[in-house]
A and B are shown apart, each in its own frame.
Chain A
Amino acid sequence: MSEADTDLELVSRVLKGERKVFDLIVRRYQSRVCAAVAKVLRRSPDIEDVAQETFLRAYRALPSFRGDSSFYTWLYKIAINTARNHLATNSRRPQLADVDISVAEHFEDERRLLDRDTPEKEMLREEVEQTVLKAVDALPEDMRTALTLREVDGMSYEDISKLMECPIGTVRSRIFRGREAIDRLLRPLLKD
C-alpha cells in the first residue's frame, strides 16, 4: 500500500461515476500542480489558470489513465505540457519587459503571482501558515519528529518506525495525533 494506491482507488471511484471524489484529488495535488506549472511559467500571472486547465484536462483524460505510471507522474506530465502549450501560445503576446514599470512592481514577489485572493483571504492564508508552523513547534518531540519525517522528508511509516525504533502502529498514531493537534487550531480559522 502506498500513496499511489490511494490515488488509484480515488481515480477508480471517479471513473465509476463518483465525480465529487475528484475534488479529493484536486485538494491533494493542487499545490504540487501549481508548483509544477510555476517551474515552466516562472513569473506569470497565469499559473493558476494553467493549473486549473491541467486538472480539467486530467479529468477529461481520466478514462485513458492506465496506471502504467503513478497518478501524480501522469498529472505532472499534463501540467508540464499544458504549461508549455500556454507558453507557446502566448509567446507572441507582449512580455513583461513591455509592461509599465509601475505595473511591473507588483510582480516583484513571485509568490504573490498566484494570489487571487481578497486581502481578507490573504490574511487568512498567512494566519493558517503561522498557525501550522507554531503548532508544529509546540508538538511533543516524538509527534513532531514523526510528522516532520513524514511530511518534510516523505518517509514511509516503516522507515520512520525503524528510525524512531518503535512499531509502525505507534508511528501511525503519532502522526495522526500530531495532525490532530494542528487541526484543532486550524478548524476555527477555516470554518466557513
Chain B
Amino acid sequence: MNHDQDGADVLREQLSALMDGELEGSEKAFLMRRLAHDQDLKASWDRYHQIREVLSEPQGPRRSMDFADRVMAAIEAEEAPAPQRAIRSGGSGQGWRQAFGAAMAAGVAAVAFWVTEPVAPELTDPGAGRSASMVELPANAPTLMPVPLLAPVQRASFGDSGAGGTQLAPLEAHYLLQHAAAGVPSAPGTASAYVEWAAQQR
C-alpha cells in the first residue's frame, strides 16, 4: 500500500468518525474543509450514508436514487437570480452606479418638466429679481392662480378652535414657511406660493 493510499484511508476513517459525530478538533476542521471540495470524499460520505440507510431503516420508505441531486438542482435553480441580491447589498460599485444612473434620469426628467411646462407670460418678470411667487398676481390670471386665492381655505377644526377657521394658525404658518424656505424655489401654482400668500394675509 503506497503513501497516497494510506493518506486516503486515514481521511476515510476520519470521515467515518465524522458522520458518527466522533471526530474532534483540528482533525474535524481539516476534514470539513476537505470535504467541501474533495469529490472522492463526498462520494464516500454518500455511500456510507446509504449503508446506514439500509441497515437502520430496512423497512423505511424508499426514495429515488437521485433525490439529493434533484434537491440541489432545485436550490440552484432557485438561487439563479442571486446577482440581483448582491447588487442590493451594496457590496460592489455596480449598485452605486445604478443608483447614480437613476438619480441622473430623475434629474433630467425634472428639468424637462420645468422647461416644457407652459408658464403664463405675465407671471415671469425677469427684471424684478423676485421669484414668481412674489409677483403680484393679476386678477385676470385665473388659469395658474392657486385655488386658495379664490377661496380661502378653511382651517381644519378640531373642536376647540373659535377663530372662525379662515386663517392659518401662527405655528402652522411658521412651520409651512420654514419648509417652503428649505425646499426648491417657488414656482407658480406650487404650495409655497400659497403659504407666502397666506402668511401675508395674517
Residues of A participating in the B interface, judged by any CB pair closer than 8 Å: 1-6, 9-10, 13, 18-24, 26-28, 30-32, 34-35, 38, 47-48, 51-52, 55-56, 59, 110-117, 121, 124-125, 128-129, 132-133, 136, 147-148, 150-152, 154, 156-157, 168, 172-173, 175-176, 179-180, 182-183, 186-187, 190
Is chain A's binding surface mostly helix, strand, loop or mixed? helix
Q: Which residues on A sit within 8 Å (CB–CB) of B63?
A: 30-31, 34, 48, 51, 114
Q: Contact: B47 with A30, CB < 8 Å? A: no
Q: Contact: A183 with B68, CB < 8 Å? A: no
Q: Contact: B79 with A55, CB < 8 Å? A: no
Q: Contact: B47 with A187, CB < 8 Å? A: yes
Q: Is B42 an interface residue (CB 8 A)?
A: yes
Q: Contact: A30 with B67, CB < 8 Å? A: yes
Closest B-chain residue to A129, C-beta based?
B54
Q: Which residues on B sit within 8 Å (CB–CB) of A147?
A: 55
From known contacts A2-B21, A48-B67, A52-B70, infer whether A27 and B45 are also in contact, taking CB-CB under 8 Å.
yes
Q: Contact: A1 with B45, CB < 8 Å? A: no
Q: Contact: A115 with B68, CB < 8 Å? A: no
Closest B-chain residue to A3, C-beta based?
B21
Partner of A31, one of B36, B44, B60, B79: B60
Q: Which residues on B sit within 8 Å (CB–CB) of A22?
A: 72, 75
Q: Which residues on A sit within 8 Å (CB–CB) of B62?
A: 34, 111-112, 114-115, 125
Partner of A183, one of B44, B54, B67, B70: B44
- Determine the distance from Cα of A106 to Cα of B147 in the docked complex, in whole angstroms: 78
Q: Contact: B16 with A176, CB < 8 Å? A: yes
Q: Contact: B55 with A26, CB < 8 Å? A: no
Write out, one digit per residue, whether chain B residues 38-69 have a CB within 8 A of any chain A CB (1) or not (0).
Answer: 00001111111111111111111111111110
Shortest beta-carbon distance, A72 to chain B, in Å?
Answer: 11
Residues of B participating in the A interface, judged by any CB pair closer than 8 Å: 9, 12-13, 16-24, 28, 32, 35-36, 42-68, 70-72, 74-75, 78-79
Shortest beta-carbon distance, A69 to chain B, in Å?
Answer: 16
Shortest beta-carbon distance, B119 to chain A, in Å?
Answer: 55
Partner of A24, one of B13, B17, B24, B35: B35
- Determine the distance from Cα of A24 to Cα of B12 in the docked complex, in whole angstroms: 15
Q: Contact: B48 with A183, CB < 8 Å? A: yes
Partner of A172, one of B17, B53, B54: B17
Most buried by A among B16, B44, B66: B16
Q: Contact: B18 with A151, CB < 8 Å? A: no
- Determine the distance from Cα of A190 to Cα of B68 in the docked complex, in whole angstroms: 14
Closest B-chain residue to A52, C-beta based?
B71
Shortest beta-carbon distance, A119 to chain B, in Å?
Answer: 12
Q: Contact: B36 with A117, CB < 8 Å? A: no
Q: 9 A–B contact pairs at CB < 8 A?
A: A1-B21, A6-B19, A9-B32, A26-B72, A30-B67, A38-B60, A175-B16, A179-B51, A180-B16
- Determine the distance from Cα of A20 to Cα of B92 in the docked complex, in whole angstroms: 24
Q: Contact: B61 with A38, CB < 8 Å? A: yes
Q: Contact: A19 with B75, CB < 8 Å? A: yes
Q: Which residues on A sit within 8 Å (CB–CB) of B79?
A: 19
Q: Which residues on B sit within 8 Å (CB–CB) of A175?
A: 16, 20
Q: Contact: B50 with A186, CB < 8 Å? A: yes
- Determine the distance from Cα of A56 to Cα of B16 in the docked complex, in whole angstroms: 27
Q: Contact: A27 with B51, CB < 8 Å? A: no
Partner of B47, one of A4, A9, A28, A186: A186
